[in-house]
């Protein structure tokens, strides 16, 4: 009887533990991030493991419809153009449920990627599982991952810079500074920042 009790307790503990890290909190800096396989606007599936020579990946949860996402689009393109060739490509993921936000349908994502000339994949997280696992809560929300022994470790979470109104007036380019630190083999000094953004449009439970 006692044995069964212990067994049940152990199972409960395991469930509670994985539940907490998986669903509720998402990643913190230093955590290992899961790879994913999500559909790109060109219809092909994309995973981080496709990027064999990458030193890291800039995962950005963003969307078509949020004004904060739109205001940062050109900056996201610029970051990919600057850093993809240096081993830090951008992968954008749209987390929104198009049933709740029709402007984020797959068709309109394709249209947006074409209109803006996205130079990076723009993936759809249909089940929202990747978004939940990472712990993204808003758009845009950046997770900079560093490749270590073929695993991806979270090095920075947060905003792109500290001035949504104007890239030129941003006194702190958080994401670029973080990528530069990784390139130099240093620790990211400011590894967690916050910004205003749009709430993620979760599927109705």
Partner 1 sequence: MRLANILVLLFLFCSNEVLGQKVEVIKFPELQEIINNKDASVKVINFWATWCKPCIEELPYFEDVHATYGEQGIEVVLVSMDFVEDLDTKVKLFVEKKQLQSTLYFLDETDYNKIIDKIDTSWSGAIPATLIVDNRKNKKDFYERQFKKGELSQIIKTLIN
Residue ranges binding partner 1 (CB under 8 A):
66-67, 71, 101, 137-138, 141, 158-159, 162-165, 169, 171-172, 174, 193-201
Give least dist CB 49 to partner 1, A. Answer: 29
Residues 6+ positions from 112 with CB-CB distance below 8 Å: 64, 118, 122
**HEC readout, 35-72:** CCCEEECCCCEECHHHCCCCCEEEEEECCCCCHHHHHH
Cβ at position 181, least distance to partner 1 in Å: 17
Distance CA 3, CA 166 (A): 63
Residue 147 or 164 having the CB closest to partner 1 = 164
Name the residue nearer to partner 1 (CB basis): 179 or 195: 195
Q: How far apart are CA 94 and CA 87, in angstroms?
A: 23
Compute the least distance from the CB of residue 69 to partner 1, in Å.
11
> Nearer to partner 1 by C-beta: 27 or 120?
27
Distance CA 135, CA 8 (A): 29
Nearer to partner 1 (CB atom), residue 136 or residue 145: 136
| CA terminus-to-terminus distance, the chain | 38
User: Smallest distance, Å, CB 199 to partner 1?
Assistant: 4
Q: Do residues 65 and 104 lie in contact, with contact meaning Cβ atoms separated by under 8 Å?
A: yes
Residue 147 or residue 201: which is nearer to partner 1 going by CB? 201
Residue (141 or 146) nearer to partner 1, CB: 141
Whether 59 and 93 have beta carbons less than 8 Å apart is answered as: yes
CB of 70 vs partner 1, minimal distance in Å: 10
DSSP 21: I
Shortest distance, position 108 Cβ to partner 1, whole Å: 15
């Amino acid at each position: 009887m006692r044995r069964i009790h212990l067994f049940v307790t152990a199972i409960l503990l395991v469930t509670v533990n994985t539940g907490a890290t998986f669903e509720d909190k998402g990643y913190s800096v230093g955590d290992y991030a899961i790879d994913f396989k999500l559909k790109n606007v060109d219809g092909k599936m994309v995973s981080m493991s496709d990027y064999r020579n990458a030193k890291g990946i800039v995962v950005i949860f963003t969307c078509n419809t949020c004004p904060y996402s739109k205001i940062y689009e050109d900056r996201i393109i610029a970051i990919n153009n600057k850093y993809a060739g240096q081993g830090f490509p951008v992968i954008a993921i749209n987390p929104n449920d198009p049933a709740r936000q029709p402007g984020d349908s797959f068709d309109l994502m394709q249209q947006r990627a074409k209109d803006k000339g996205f130079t990076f994949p723009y993936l759809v997280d249909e089940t929202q599982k990747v978004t939940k696992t990472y712990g993204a809560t808003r758009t845009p929300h950046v997770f900079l991952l560093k490749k270590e022994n073929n695993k991806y470790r979270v090095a920075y979470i947060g905003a792109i810079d500290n001035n949504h109104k104007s890239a030129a007036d941003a006194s702190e380019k958080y994401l670029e500074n973080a990528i530069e630190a990784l390139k130099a083999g240093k620790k990211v000094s400011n590894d967690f920042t916050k910004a205003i953004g749009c709430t993620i449009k979760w599927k109705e439970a």
